[in-house]
C-alpha cells in the first residue's frame, strides 16, 4: 500500500499517521491547545493572516482540526479550506478563458457550485455574493476563507506569472475592500515573503515543531477512551527517540511512529510501558518502512527506478547528521532530480525546505537561498536500510492515479499526467462507468492542453457516452460542449454548432451553457444570433459576468464601441487578457486612444502568445495609426471593422438602408461585412472614432500611436496580426482569421 493510500484510509484509530488531520478529527488533535486558541482568535480579527511554518510542522492539521473547530459555525461563516491546485476532471474545453488558480480556489470554496459558473467569477466577485447571502440569511459574520498549501502557487512552470500576479492582486483587493471577510493564507516559510511582496507586510502566525511537553501530550491523549493508556516513561521514551537537537519533535513523524506502534501492539496489551514500546517498536525500522514506501510511490509516479531514487537520496542527504543541499533563490529543482520529485518527497515528509536565518523566501528582498534536508536526521539510517532492500511497486489504485494525473496537469507536467491518466483508465473496473467517464474527460483535458483537438474530441465523446449510460444529463451536456469546442478548433463549423446546441437542449436552464452557445455562434460568424442568445441570458441574470464579458467582446469585435464598453465596464476589475484586449479595441473605437494603448499593452504583457489578444491589439493599433495620420494605413483597412458603414460609435444605424449587417460574413481588418461605405474615405480611426477625436498619445511598452508618415504604427499592427495567425493558444476564430489574412494580404 502506498503512503498516500495508508494516509487516506478512513478509520478511528487514535493516530492519523502520515496524513494531516481533518476538520472532524479535533477529538484526536492534541499538543496544540494554546496555538489553536490563539490562531482561532487571530483568524477572526485579521483581514489577512499568513500562517507559515516548515514542511511537516502541521500547518494543515492546526488549521483544520485545531483553529476551525474552535471558531465554530456560531461565530463565523466558514468556507471549506481552499486549494490553488485542482484535481477536478471537469471538461476544460467547455470553459471560457479563466485563471486556473482562481478557479481551483473557488471550486474548493464552493464545491456545490457548477464549475462553469465559477469560471466567470473573480475572488472578490464570489466573496461579495457570499457576504450578501450571509447577511440576507442573518448568519454571523465574518466570512472565513482559508487557502492551504499556498506554496503550490509557485509550483507551475514558467508561463503562469500573470495568473499568479492576478491571484495575488485579487487577494489584496478582498483584504482591502471586504471588511466582512477574513483571509488566511497557509504557506511554507520560504514563500511567506513572496506573498507579502504583493500583499504588503501582514500579520503572521508561525507554526513550529512540537516541544517535548506538547509531543508527550500528542502521544498520550489520543488513546484516552480506547481501553489503553501510556505510562509516563513509555511516552517519554518514544518522544526522546524522535527528538531533534533543540528538543523539538516533528509532528508528522511522531504520528507515523505512533500509528506503527498502535498497529504492532497485541490485543491484550492495555498498559503501554517503556518495555512494551521497546519490544514492539523499532523506530529505525519503522522509518525505513515509511521511507521505502515513499520512495516507491514517488519513483512510480515519475517512472524512475526505485533503486536510483533511493541511491540519490542516500548520496545527497544520508551520512553525517544534518546534511543538506542548497536550493538557490529562484531555483526549483535539486541537481540530479526533477522538481516534481523534490516536491513529492516534501509532501510525504521525507524532505523539508528550510529558509536560512533572516530570509523571507526566494524572490523576497535579498533573494536568499534555502536549504533542503531530511525531515529528521534518523531518516538517514532509514534511507540506508531502504536502499539495500527491494522496494516494491505500490498497489495500483485507479482513483489515486487519476488524482495524481489531474494534479500533474494542473502543474503543467504533461508527460506525467498522460502516464497516470491512461493507467487510471486501464486499472479501472469496466463496470465503473462514472469513473471511466471522468478519466476520459481528464484525457480530453490533457489533449486540449496539448492543442490536439482531434484526440480531445475522441475522449470527450467517450466521456459523454459513459455519462449518458449513468444518466448524468448535466455531465453529458458539459462533455458535448467540450466536443463542440474541439470541433470548432478543427474547422468543422456545422458539427461544432450542432454539438453545443445539443448540450443546451439537454439542460436548457443552464445559463453557462447558453453563454457557450453564444460564444460559439459569434466565433462562427453568426453575430446577431450570438448577440440575441447573450442578451437573453442577461435578461435572466443581468449581472452574469461571463455573459457580460462575452457580449462585450462580441460588440467590440463588431465595432460597436460604446455598447461594448457598457458591458465591459461592468466586468470585474480583474479581466482576462482577451477581455482586456477587446476593451482596448473598444476604447480606440470610442476615441480614447491613450487608454486603448495602455489596455492593449497590459493585455499583451499578460498573454503575448494569445491569438485573440494579438488580433484585438492589432485592430486597436490600426485605429491609432489612422488617428495619428499614418499614410500607410488605407481607409479600407480601418473601415474593415464590422458593421462600420453608415454608423457612429455604436455600429450601424438600422434606419439607414445602406447600413451593413453583421451576418454578411468576414471582412477585412475588423471582421465581417465591410468593404467601404460612407466612412471608408473619412478620417475616422475605427468604429465610432470622430475625425481627430481622442488622444493620439499611447502608453505602455512598444504599443503607442505613431506620428504621421512613419508607417511604424501600422508595421506594429501587421506584426501583431502575423503573430495572431501563427498562435494556437488559443487560435483565432474563423471569421477573425479570415479578416486577419485579408488585411496582411495573404
The CATH number linked to 90 is 3.40.50.300
Residue 303 has pLDDT above 90, yes or no: no
* Average pLDDT value for residue range 417-439: 94
Residue 686: predicted pLDDT: 35
Sheet of 351-355: strands edge to edge? 324-327, 370-374, 351-355
- Cα–Cα distance for residue pair 164/101, rounded to 1 Å: 7
Q: Tell me the pLDDT band of 498, cut-offs 50, 70 and 90.
A: very high
Residue 113 cell numbers, joined: 457550485
In 3-state terms, what secondary structure has residue 324? strand
Checking if the pLDDT of 103 tops 80, the result is: yes
For residues 711-740, give the mean pLDDT: 85
State residue 86's pLDDT score: 76
pLDDT exceeds 70 at position 156:
no
| 77 and 167 share one domain | yes
Selected residue with higher pLDDT from 476 and 410: 476
- Could you tell me if residue 601 is inside a domain? yes
User: 83 pLDDT exceeds 50?
Assistant: yes
Please provide the DSSP assignment of 233-270 as one string.
Answer: HHHHHHHHHHPBTTTEE-HHHHHHHHHHHHHHS-TT--
The model's pTM is: 0.80
C-alpha to C-alpha distance for 648 and 679, rounded to whole angstroms: 9
Residue 640 has pLDDT above 80, yes or no: no
H-type helices in 360-472, by residue range?
378-388, 398-410, 414-427, 433-449, 453-469
**Mean pLDDT for the stretch of residues 685-690:** 34
Q: Is the pLDDT of residue 338 over 60?
A: yes
Asked whether residue 224 is domain-assigned, the answer is: no
d(CA 572, CA 540): 19
Say if residues 26 and 57 touch (Cβ distance below 8 Å). Answer: no
Looking at the fold, whether 170 and 295 belong to one and the same domain comes out as: no
Do 372 and 441 lie in one domain? The reply is no
Bridge-based pairing state of the strands 203-206 and 48-53: parallel
| Three-state DSSP class for residue 209 | coil
Number of domain units in the chain:
4
- 265 domain residue, yes or no: no
* pLDDT reported for residue 692: 32
Give the pLDDT mean for 200-229: 94
CA dist., res. 562 & res. 555, Å (int): 9
**In sequence order, what DSSP letters do the residues of 558-581 get, joined into one string?**
TT-HHHHHHHHTTS-SS--HHHHH
Would 558 be classed as within a structural domain?
no
Q: Which residue has the higher pLDDT, 158 or 80?
A: 80
Query: What are the CA-CA distances from residue 390 to residues 292, 306, 307, 409 (Å)?
Result: 9, 9, 8, 31
| Contact criterion met (CB below 8 Å) for 43 and 49 | yes
Kindly state whether residue 158 falls inside one of the protein's structural domains: yes
Range of lowest pLDDT (138-152, 336-350, 422-436, 549-563): 336-350
In the listed set 454, 484, 514, which residue is the last one of a domain according to the structure?
Answer: 484
Q: Is the pLDDT of residue 616 over 80?
A: yes
Say if residue 65 is in the same domain as residue 178.
Answer: yes
Q: Which residues contact 627 (CB under 8 A, 6 or more apart)?
A: 593, 685, 689, 692, 693, 694, 696, 705
My answer on whether 471 and 610 are in the same domain is no
- What is the number of residues in the chain? 746
Same domain, 381 and 421: no
C-alpha span between 324 and 674 (Å, rounded): 67
CATH number at 408 reads: 1.25.40.10
pLDDT at 344: 84
Q: How many CB atoms lie within 10 A of CB 86?
A: 20
- The three-state secondary structure class of 474 is helix
Q: How far is CA 560 from CA 75, 548, 610, 647, in A?
A: 50, 14, 23, 9
Tell me if residue 16 falls in helix, strand or coil.
Answer: coil
Distance between CA 331 and CA 341 in Å, rounded?
A: 14
- Rounded Cα distance, 616 and 575, in Å: 15
Q: Report which of 7, 51, 326, 68 is spatially closest to residue 208, judged by C-alpha positions.
A: 51
Find the Cα–Cα–Cα–Cα dihedral 99, 102, 105, 106, rounded to 10°: -100
Alpha-carbon distance of 503 to 427, in angstroms, equals 30
What proportion of the chain, given as a percentage, has pLDDT over 70?
A: 79
Domain that holds residue 177: 31-206
Burial 579-599 (b: 16+ CB within 10 A, else e): bbbbbbbbbbbbbbbbbbbbb
Helices (H) and strands (E) in the chain, counts: 33, 14
Same domain assignment for residues 598 and 734: yes
Residue in 224, 348, 355, 356 with CA at minimum distance from that of residue 297:
348
* Rounded mean pLDDT, 192-201: 87
* Cis upstream peptide for 285 (omega within 30°): no
Q: Are residues 419 and 341 in the same domain?
A: no
- Say yes or no: 187 and 319 in one domain: no
Would you say residue 218 lies in a domain?
Answer: no
pLDDT tens per residue, range 441-479: 999 999 999 999 999 999 999 999 999 999 999 999 999
Percent of the chain surpassing pLDDT 90:
51
pLDDT at 91: 93
From residue 598, give the alpha-carbon distance in Å to each of 139, 370, 645, 696, 701: 43, 38, 27, 12, 9
Domain boundary among 327, 355, 388: 388
Which has the minimum average pLDDT: 404-413, 415-424, 519-528?
404-413
Q: Is the pLDDT of residue 326 over 90?
A: no
Mean pLDDT of the chain: 82
| Domain co-membership, 596 together with 714 | yes
Strand partners, 706: none
205: helix, strand or coil: strand
Q: How confident is the model at residue 392 (pLDDT cuts 50, 70, 90)?
A: low
The verdict on 50 and 159 lying in the same domain is yes
Least trusted range by pLDDT, from 409-423, 428-442, 535-549, 610-624:
409-423
Residue 191 lies in a domain: yes
Residue 436 lies in a domain: yes
Q: Are residues 366 and 300 in the same domain?
A: yes
Domain stops at, among 187, 206, 225: 206
CB atoms closer than 10 angstroms to residue 661: 15
Whether the Cβ atoms of residue 557 and residue 658 lie closer than 8 Å to each other: no
pLDDT for 411:
80
- pLDDT score of 288: 85
Amino acid at each position: 500500500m502506498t503512503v498516500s493510500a495508508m494516509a487516506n484510509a478512513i478509520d478511528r484509530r487514535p493516530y492519523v499517521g502520515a496524513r494531516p488531520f481533518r476538520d472532524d478529527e479535533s477529538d484526536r488533535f492534541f499538543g496544540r491547545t494554546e496555538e489553536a486558541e490563539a490562531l482561532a482568535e487571530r483568524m477572526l480579527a485579521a483581514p489577512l493572516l499568513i500562517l507559515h511554518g516548515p514542511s511537516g510542522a502541521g500547518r494543515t492539521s492546526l488549521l483544520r482540526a485545531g483553529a476551525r473547530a474552535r471558531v465554530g459555525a456560531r461565530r463565523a461563516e466558514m468556507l471549506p479550506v481552499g486549494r490553488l491546485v485542482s484535481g477536478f476532471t471537469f471538461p476544460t474545453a467547455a470553459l471560457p478563458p479563466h485563471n486556473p488558480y482562481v478557479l481551483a480556489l473557488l471550486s474548493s470554496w464552493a464545491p456545490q457550485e457548477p464549475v462553469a459558473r465559477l469560471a466567470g467569477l473573480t475572488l472578490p466577485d464570489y466573496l461579495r455574493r457570499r457576504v450578501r447571502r450571509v447577511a440576507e440569511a442573518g448568519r454571523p459574520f465574518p466570512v472565513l476563507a482559508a487557502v492551504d498549501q499556498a506554496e503550490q502557487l509557485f509550483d507551475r512552470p514558467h508561463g503562469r506569472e500573470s495568473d499568479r500576479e492576478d491571484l495575488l492582486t485579487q487577494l489584496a483587493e478582498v483584504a482591502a475592500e471586504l471588511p466582512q471577510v477574513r483571509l488566511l493564507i497557509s504557506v511554507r516559510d520560504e514563500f511567506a515573503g513572496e506573498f507579502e511582496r504583493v500583499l504588503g507586510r501582514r500579520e503572521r502566525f508561525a507554526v513550529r515543531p512540537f516541544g517535548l511537553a506538547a509531543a508527550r501530550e500528542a502521544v498520550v491523549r489520543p488513546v484516552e477512551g480506547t481501553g489503553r493508556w501510556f505510562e509516563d516513561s513509555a511516552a517519554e521514551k518514544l518522544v526522546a527517540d524522535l527528538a531533534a537537537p533543540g528538543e523539538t519533535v516533528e509532528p508528522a513523524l511522531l504520528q507515523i511512529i505512533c500509528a506503527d506502534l498502535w498497529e504492532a501492539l497485541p490485543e491484550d496489551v492495555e498498559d503501554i510501558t517503556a518495555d512494551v514500546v521497546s519490544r514492539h517498536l523499532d523506530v529505525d525500522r519503522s522509518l525505513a518502512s515509511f521511507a521505502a514506501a515513499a520512495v516507491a510511490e514517488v519513483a512510480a509516479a515519475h517512472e524512475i527506478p526505485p533503486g536510483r531514487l533511493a541511491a540519490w537520496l542516500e548520496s545527497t542527504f544520508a551520512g553525517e547528521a544534518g546534511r543538506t543541499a542548497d536550493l538557490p533563490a529562484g531555483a526549483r529543482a535539486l541537481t540530479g532530480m526533477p522538481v516534481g520529485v523534490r516536491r513529492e518527497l516534501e509532501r510525504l515528509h521525507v524532505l523539508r525546505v528550510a529558509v536560512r536565518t533572516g530570509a523571507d523566501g526566494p524572490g523576497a528582498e535579498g533573494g536568499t537561498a534555502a536549504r533542503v534536508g531530511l525531515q529528521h536526521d534518523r531518516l538517514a539510517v532509514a534511507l540506508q536500510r531502504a536502499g539495500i532492500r527491494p522496494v516494491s511497486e505500490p498497489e495500483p489504485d485507479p482513483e489515486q492515479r487519476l488524482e495524481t494525473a489531474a494534479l500533474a496537469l494542473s502543474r503543467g507536467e504533461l508527460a506525467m499526467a498522460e502516464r497516470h491518466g491512461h493507467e487510471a483508465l486501464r486499472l479501472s473496473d469496466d463496470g465503473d462507468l462514472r469513473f471511466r467517464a471522468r478519466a476520459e474527460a481528464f484525457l480530453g483535458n490533457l489533449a486540449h492542453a496539448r492543442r490536439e483537438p482531434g484526440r480531445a474530441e475522441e475522449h470527450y465523446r467517450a466521456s459523454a457516452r459513459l455519462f449518458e449510460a449513468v444518466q448524468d444529463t448535466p455531465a453529458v451536456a458539459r462533455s458535448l460542449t467540450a466536443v463542440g469546442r474541439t470541433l470548432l478548433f478543427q474547422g468543422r463549423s456545422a458539427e461544432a454548432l450542432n454539438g453545443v446546441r445539443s448540450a443546451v437542449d439537454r439542460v436548457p436552464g443552464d445559463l453557462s451553457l447558453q453563454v457557450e452557445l453564444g460564444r460559439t455562434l459569434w466565433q462562427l460568424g453568426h453575430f446577431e444570433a450570438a448577440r440575441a442568445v447573450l442578451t437573453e441570458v442577461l435578461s435572466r441574470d443581468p449581472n452574469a459576468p461571463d455573459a457580460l464579458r462575452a457580449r462585450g467582446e462580441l460588440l467590440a469585435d463588431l465595432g460597436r464601441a460604446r455598447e461594448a464598453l457598457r458591458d465591459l465596464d461592468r466586468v470585474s476589475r480583474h479581466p482576462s487578457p482577451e477581455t482586456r484586449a477587446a476593451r482596448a479595441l473598444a476604447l480606440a473605437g470610442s476615441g480614447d486612444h491613450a487608454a486603448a494603448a495602455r489596455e492593449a499593452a497590459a493585455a499583451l504583457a499578460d498573454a503575448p502568445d494569445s491569438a485573440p489578444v494579438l488580433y484585438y491589439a492589432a485592430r486597436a493599433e490600426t485605429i491609432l495609426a489612422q488617428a495619428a495620420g499614418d499614410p500607410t494605413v488605407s481607409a479600407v483597412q480601418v473601415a474593415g471593422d464590422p458593421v462600420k458603414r453608415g454608423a457612429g460609435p455604436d455600429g450601424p444605424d438600422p434606419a439607414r438602408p445602406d447600413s451593413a449587417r453583421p451576418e454578411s460574413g468576414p471582412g477585412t481588418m475588423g471582421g465581417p461585412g465591410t468593404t467601404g461605405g460612407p466612412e471608408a474615405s473619412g478620417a475616422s480611426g475605427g468604429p465610432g472614432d470622430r475625425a481627430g477625436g481622442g488622444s493620439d498619445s499611447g502608453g505602455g511598452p512598444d504599443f503607442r500611436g505613431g506620428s504621421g508618415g512613419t508607417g511604424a504604427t501600422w508595421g506594429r499592427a501587421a506584426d501583431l496580426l502575423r503573430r495572431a495567425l501563427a498562435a494556437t493558444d488559443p487560435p483565432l476564430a474563423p471569421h477573425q482569421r479570415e479578416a486577419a489574412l485579408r488585411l496582411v494580404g495573404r
